[in-house]
């Protein structure tokens, strides 16, 4: 407990919270650019550190040992998982950590609601809304984690599913309104019923969503977690929670809109349609798959003037980013112009491919997003596709019967030659056959991406 007067201590804490919030904003701003992302994480981390430390000065603060124990255990778990979890598993770790944030906000709301003291009308409304959003984000993120981790291999769908989901949500809202009417003096049984319904709704709304839609789902729950934290910040009168939660919520909302736009689908379509698990195939694809060996593919790219590399989840699975960059360095040394093309929904989470390429040391100025690089495919000698599928599927432009029709894609098919590194002949994660693979200018290099890249390196050196 602080030796300073309570009013002075409170002012000091709020001032430090404000400074921490500024550090959060600066950190998030720097994270918007790959060049500043690492520094942005440090800035935000410092903000979180000082906000956590100054909280111990709060008048009437107690349970210090329990708080410090929780911080130690959580920090140790985060350090261990950060060191041990491979980049291929990063999407599910992000989903899990995001769920923990929503769960923490819901736990704060639960604590306030069961304390048994009267609320003013506004705080109890915010507490209930934050509890609902946080609980849904928690259970929904856990389902997303289980799907990406392979613990849940099939999406559960049944007739009348949306009606059941609506009724569960309606029941949750009714119980929440009842607690609001009681001004926070609700019996324990009512609080338990509310959280049970909210958690169930998070599970029910996420369980039918297929794996191909997980990038949008993860960013949506990220936004929900931020909003929940902001609402609970209002309840506690904590400026740092309010500002940090609003910033995270706004960023998550913008990212969700970006991801949905990149798939040419509304958020409602992502949440309530059946696409993403076993999408129906559109029209019949003409042509045949034409394999190529590494030696011939190596010669093709070695003597090209311009090569655009399009990475996908297959590169992440094979952990081939380092070999791919080694290959590209060889090409650059030969005078070949090399660029990397990133689609917003490539991989299993927003920015997945950017993180992998940054890990391999690829310079940021060689990486272009869809809008920046699409026009360059027309003047490209070879488009090298590494484990990408839907984001380069030309049926999105031509086949109205395809589930991905209208989705903006990378125009890899417009390159003079296309080489696709792929583990096998099966369809991609969404179950849609890729017409790009059957075009006359496309050749298939089958095998693990890391092994194929190593063979291409040897071919380029030999050439």
Which residues are part of the catalytic machinery?
390
State the alpha helices, DSSP H only, in 85-210.
90-114, 121-149, 161-181, 188-206
Tokens of 69: 């124990």
Q: Tokens 């112009």 sit at which residue?
A: 337
Backbone dihedral angles phi then psi of residue 146, each to the nearest 5 degrees: -65, -35
CA distances, 62 to each of 51, 57, 113, 227 (Å): 17, 10, 19, 27
Tell me the longest C-alpha to C-alpha distance in the chain. 80
Round to whole Å and give the CA distance between 95 and 99: 6
Q: In what order do the strands lie in the sheet with 417-422?
A: 367-369, 337-342, 306-311, 382-386, 417-422, 442-446
Round to whole Å and give the CA distance between 456 and 330: 10
Round to whole Å and give the CA distance between 15 and 168: 42
Q: Which segments of 166-273 are extended strands (E)?
A: none
- The distance from CA 5 to its chain's CA centroid, rounded to whole angstroms, is 45
Round to whole Å and give the CA distance between 222 and 276: 20
Of the candidates 308, 274, 271, 264, the residue with the CA atom closest to the CA atom of residue 404: 264
Range 103-116 burial, b when 16+ CB lie within 10 A, else e: bbbbbbbbebbeee
Q: Which segments of 113-223 are extended strands (E)?
A: none
Of the candidates 329, 373, 127, the residue with the CA atom closest to the CA atom of residue 228: 127
């Amino acid at each position: 407990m602080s030796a300073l007067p309570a009013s002075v201590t409170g002012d000091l804490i709020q001032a430090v919270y404000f400074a921490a919030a500024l550090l959060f904003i600066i950190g998030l701003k720097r994270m918007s650019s790959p060049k500043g992302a690492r520094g942005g994480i440090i800035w935000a981390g410092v903000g979180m550190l000082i906000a956590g430390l100054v909280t111990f000065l709060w008048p009437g603060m107690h349970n210090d040992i329990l708080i410090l124990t929780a911080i130690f255990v959580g920090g140790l778990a985060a350090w261990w998982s950060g060191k041990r979890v491979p980049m291929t598993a990063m999407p599910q770790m992000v989903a899990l950590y995001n769920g923990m944030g929503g769960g923490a906000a819901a736990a704060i709301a639960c604590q306030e609601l069961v304390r048994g003291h009267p609320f003013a009308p506004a705080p109890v409304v915010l507490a209930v809304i934050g509890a609902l959003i946080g609980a849904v984000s928690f259970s929904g993120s856990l389902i997303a984690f289980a799907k990406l981790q392979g613990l849940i291999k099939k999406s559960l769908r049944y007739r009348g599913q949306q009606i059941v989901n609506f009724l569960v949500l309606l029941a949750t809202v009714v119980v929440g309104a009842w607690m609001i009417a009681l001004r926070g003096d609700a019996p324990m049984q009512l609080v338990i019923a509310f959280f049970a319904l909210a958690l169930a709704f998070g599970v029910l709304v996420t369980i039918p969503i297929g794996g191909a839609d997980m990038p949008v789902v993860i960013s949506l729950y990220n936004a929900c977690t931020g909003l929940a934290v902001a609402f609970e910040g209002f309840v506690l009168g904590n400026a740092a929670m309010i500002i940090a939660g609003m910033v995270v919520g706004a960023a998550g909302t913008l990212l969700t809109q970006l991801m949905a736009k990149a798939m040419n689908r509304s958020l409602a379509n992502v949440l309530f349609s059946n696409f993403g698990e076993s999408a129906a195939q559109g029209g019949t694809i003409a042509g045949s798959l034409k394999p190529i060996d590494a030696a011939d593919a190596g010669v093709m790219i070695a003597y090209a003037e311009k090569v655009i590399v399009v990475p996908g989840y297959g590169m992440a699975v094979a952990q081939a980013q380092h070999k791919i960059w080694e290959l590209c360095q060889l090409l650059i040394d030969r005078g070949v112009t090399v660029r990397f093309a990133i689609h917003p929904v490539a991989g299993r989470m927003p920015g997945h491919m950017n993180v992998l390429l940054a890990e391999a040391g690829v310079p940021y100025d060689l990486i272009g997003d869809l809008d920046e690089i699409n026009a360059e495919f027309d003047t490209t000698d070879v488009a090298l596709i590494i484990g990408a599928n839907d984001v380069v599927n030309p049926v999105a432009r031509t086949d109205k019967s395809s589930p991905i029709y209208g989705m903006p894609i990378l125009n890899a098919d417009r390159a003079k030659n296309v080489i696709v590194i792929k583990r096998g002949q099966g369809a991609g994660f969404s179950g849609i056959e890729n017409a790009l693979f059957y075009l006359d200018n496309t050749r298939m290099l089958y095998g693990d991406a890391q092994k194929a890249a190593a063979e291409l390196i040897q071919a380029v050196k030999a050439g």
